Chain A
Amino acid sequence: MSREINFEKKIKRRALILGLSKTLFTFFVFGKLFYLQILQKSKYGKLSDTNRIKLKIVYPERGTIYDLYNKPIASNRIDYQLSIFKDKKNLINDYIKKLKGHINFSEVDLEVIKSNLKEQDLSDFITIKRNLSWNELEFFEFMKNKFPFLIITKEKVRDYDNDIIFSHVLGYVGFKKNVSKKKLSNLKVGISGIEKKLDTKLLGKDGWIKFETDSKGAVKKELNKKYAVPGANIKTNLISEIQNKASVEMRGINGAIVMINCQNGGVNCLYSSPSFNNNEFSDGVSLKKWNSLLADEFNPLLNRCIAGLYSPGSTYKLITALHALENKKFNKNKKFLCSGSISFGKRKFHCWKKEGHGYVNLHEAIKKSCDCYFYNLAKILEIDDLAKFSRLFSYGQTTGIDIPNELKGIMPNRKWKISNRGERWQKGETLNTVIGQGFMLSTPLQITLMTARLATGKKIIPSIILNKKEFENLNINNENLEFIKSSMFSVVNESTGTAFNSKLKGYYKMAGKTGTSQVRRISLKEREDGVLKNEELNYKLRDHSIFTCFAPFDNPKFSLSVIAEHMGSGSKVAAPIAKRIMELALNKYQ
């Protein structure tokens, strides 16, 4: 019997052990649950959110750029884009294979996809195709169930209303290059022109959309979003019609046309020829196209208006004359004999007119653009003084125009010669400089600005973006200024003036100065044999045709320069173009 009792006790004991082990097990599970759900709640909460919530960056719409008359010149179009869920990017090749034939993937697209795949972007989606056509969109709408990890989004992308004519001044947009771990890999920024200069204003601020996706990455619904803030709109001084006219006039001609409003410094026209298509750039230009543009001998990517360097030629005589009057008390009625050339030291300096102008005074020398007169003038001038005076008209320094990559050209002086050529200044070089040849180089913008400052006597600063400005006086004797202006008036309006052919018809009068920028040096032998005509020369050796002018004469409003590369004398090509553009401006925008 005691055995029975002992056995019962044993069984009770073992049941207790079993019960205790179950209690222990319960506490283990309880403990782990407490740890997971109470102590680590925020960690796991976040993990569950990163599991399901996927972010799509919404890129902001760039600000619109308007011309002076509120015509949009850079706006945005709707672009439908196809994006893939980042976690499924290994599917991309398979998808492209399946979509091929229905959606066109160009070589550029494939290149872009390749680089996009490497980006460390905030977004959980990778754009694989931009600029979807209606047919492609329709196809995808129909087939989207078969591609659960692709989504279509609507983005606003840059679109230039005219591909060609504003390319240099507006610039273009593109992806930032060589920035590691870009946060916004698809953000386009301004690469050149106004787009670059005002990028921060035009850019706006990005937004996002949060999507809920399931474990396979299929998008279930849109959770919430932050709207992108569009960039600010920009108003410019450009006038579309004039810009367009400039492009028409420059068809087949390399060169530049710059027009500045003399009253407020507003740049009404800034056209460089040849141009390029900036829409192509904004859509992502292919390497092939880029290389062909770089290799083009006429360098279409160069903005000649601000970075094309030309000898100002005879247009610079205006500054030489003004300097002599202003600073050397030069008597403007003094006459010099022009016999076609003068001797200075061992060298002979030629006038453009072989048979000479005879006895001329300063007014006639400007009107007829007599070189000999200025050679004589040069004898009494000091190059350093001339260079210093020329700075008032922006030669040798940047104008401060509000687009990047402006060049300052060369305004030579003694110091410049020593440090750049390692030689002392020769007096003979002053003779070349006073007629805008020799070392001197300037941009079309500088030449236009010179004219504007001469026309107003004020230190005009050019600006493409519309804003009100007051300019300080140049402090030049008004009498001298009026003399130069009246000489420019004679150039255009008197039958013996070099630009008489380009006299305006109608009420308004224009004043101007021709220039012929010599590209080559004429040898002694050639002088004897007879100087070759431009038509006989290789294109690259022909003179540049330059004309700068302002109008109306009584109350100057527009200052305009035309540079036509290798087109011969200023009176033949540049002046007639300037006349036509000025007529348009005066008729419609005065």
Chain B
Amino acid sequence: MSDLGRVVVLAGGLSHERDVSIRSGRRVAEALRGVGVEVQVCDIDAGLLPTLIADRPDAIFPTVHGATGEDGAIQGILALLDLPYVGSSPASCRRAFDKPSAKDAVRTAGMATPDWVAIPKTTFRDLGTQAVLDVITAALPLPLFVKPARGGSSLGAAAVHSREELPAAMVACFAYDETALIERHVVGREVSISVVDTGEGPRALPAVEIVADSGIYDYAARYTAGMTEFFTPARLSTAETEAVKEVAIRAHNALGLSCISRTDLILDADGTAWFLEVNVAPGLTETSLLPLAASAANLDLGVLYRDLLQAVAVR
């Protein structure tokens, strides 16, 4: 049984990833109840703060994806309320959620990340669309990958194989965020490594290798069971396994993250592990990667989530 008293799982919110967040929250709540934890699932709405202030749960497990959940906003509020939560500090969340800032930090720490440029929508208006696109394609060789600077679940993301495809990718991206991250599209094996810290320091779970049937791990491939083949642990040599785990741990530390994170990277043919992005509130749905990795490590999800909560509750 759990030493924890009452726990609140935060799920929902108003981001584009609300649906995923609700599914994550439901899964986490079920797993925790399975190990005897009393759980209440709360949405991010006007009723939340009065509830938290009145009831003061022992710990909070945020599973809110996208803005508010991952940009440090909700973490900042929880910190002000002095309520322990599973996750990183507001500042770390802000930096990790903003992909260009995260790539900056990771590159500064000596890790490989594909060359990129981050351009706000207004820049195209100010400098002229064609001129800016010309500069981008002159500096960054095709293929490229375009994605919102802030966001997840591959929403608004697209691979670009020719100059002609770039405007459409930019428009799709700007539907989700005001700034686009345009990076060199590194070809290789897509690998994801979850990092958890239950009080003894960050440790990497087994790497998950992702092979989407369509070749692109997009929203449908992520959340439709059957459309993607997952290899857990990834089909890597011992050296490669160590290399990708090291990148995930180093990224976690470089960004000052706590408790839980998931790093997505590409392992190219030369064995270089390229950091793509890190998630501070990774998906925890039935098709998400962290639960897969935990299962491969023979970790019971309920126990893992409870341990994460207990670690922050005693801080």
Q: Do A and B come from one complex?
A: no
Q: CB within 8 Å of B: which residues of A?
A: none
